[in-house]
Amino acid sequence: MEEIRRKREEISEEDVLAEVEIWKYVFGFVEMGVIKCAIDLGIADLIQAQGKPMTLPELLVATHECSLSKLYRLMRFLVHRNIFKEVSTSDGVKSYDLTPISRLLVKHGERSMAAFLLLESSPVMLAPWHAFSGCVPESGKPAFEAAHGVDVWGYASGDPEHSELINEAMACDARLVVPAILEDCPSLFDGVQTVVDVGGGNGTTLGMLVKAYPWLKGTNFDLPHVASVAPKIDNVEHVGGDFFVNIPKADAAFVMWSLHDWGDEECINILRKCKEAIPKDGGKVIIVEAVIDEVEEHEFKDVRYVLDMVMMAHTSAGKERTQEDWTNILRESGFSRHTIYPIRAIQAVIVAWP
């Protein structure tokens, strides 16, 4: 007993903190799983629709067939994580209300991130993490292919439900990023009459841009199985194709969160096709991607590093890039100059000219 006590006394405060910290990684999947459960149960949607905090019995009735004790434990965890908050009604009854985080979980909310979390927590996207260690060796197989036998795009083309979930998740990001672009780069489309969104998914991003800049005419360009089911949007034409082969002509090519899915050589090929699609005089390519800064701190720095690991797990050669990486890729793609504009989002805006 004395030997055990002596060894415990020799443990530094730093080691004690490490013992606390390591549990976050041991059970790192729990938060995702619990929040997915809250989305599946529609808890944020129910409180939003009620227009006021809801008591546990009210949530129990509204969620149908839940266990009272399990629902209580679920809400206790979510309150502890500040996903929801406890409030008291005028007669002192404990109720649950939305926080800024849970407002992002309202499925059809203006800034909803629910579909993105449902995508990343889906069995399809979780499976590659079990093969992640195998993709790190030089001769290793990409994790997604190891798990599913095809790459993420091949899988999506054969699974319309998963393809729709990917597009809904990208639309979630658009609803957060486009307002940041409009605020921090308001003159981005000055002098531009036509724009092609390269890899634009279901057209959410382009729809927001043409609404903000009414003079714009947009072409939403994505794979045929994506473009063919995209919803009708005023001033937007959906076109299916392959951006490695040809990109529709426009004054500006807009590429958001597509280049990070690919390795450097593929990125260079895509950007060369973008360059071919725009006028030599006055044309430009607008890239919206993360720019990793390994020195300076930033509120989204941790998310950018996490996304880099997601690219490693879910794509064959995709990655997040540093400023130097982007400079090299744009130079190899034949652009004469570029400027990086920070915005309050995970991504930055990179404008490149022929």
Nearest to 34 by CA among 68, 69, 95, 83: 83
Beta strands in 89-155 (DSSP E): 94-98
Reading the block at residue 314, the tokens are 């879910």
Task: Determine which one of 162, 238, 260, 314 is catalytic.
Answer: 260
Q: Is 260 a catalytic residue?
A: yes
SS3 content of the chain, % helix, strand, coil (to 5): 50, 15, 35
Residue type at 245 in one-letter notation:
V
Query: Which residues contact residue 30 at a Cβ distance below 8 angstroms, ignoring those fewer than 6 apart?
Result: none
Element (H, E) at 253: strand 252-256
Q: In this structure, what are the phi and psi dihedrals at residue 335, rounded to the nearest 5 degrees?
A: -85, 140
Residues 73 and 76: their CA atoms lie apart, in Å, by 5
Half-sphere exposure of 82 (CA within 13 A, CB side): 2
Task: Tell me the H-state helices in the chain.
Answer: 2-10, 13-26, 29-41, 43-50, 56-63, 68-80, 100-103, 114-120, 123-126, 143-148, 152-157, 160-184, 204-212, 224-227, 264-277, 301-314, 323-332
Supply φ then ψ for residue 214, to 5 degrees. Answer: -60, -20
Question: Quick one: which of 292, 320, 313 has its CA closest to 140?
Answer: 313
How far apart are alpha carbons 142 and 155 in whole angstroms?
A: 14
Which residues make Cβ contacts (< 8 Å) with residue 13, sequence separation at least 6? none
End-to-end CA distance of the chain: 74
The position carrying tokens 């973008």 is: 274
Q: Which DSSP helix (H) or strand (E) runs through 327?
A: helix 323-332
The residues pairing with 285 across neighbouring beta strands, listed in sequence order, are 253, 352
How many CB atoms are closer than 10 A to CB 327? 15
Active site residues: 260
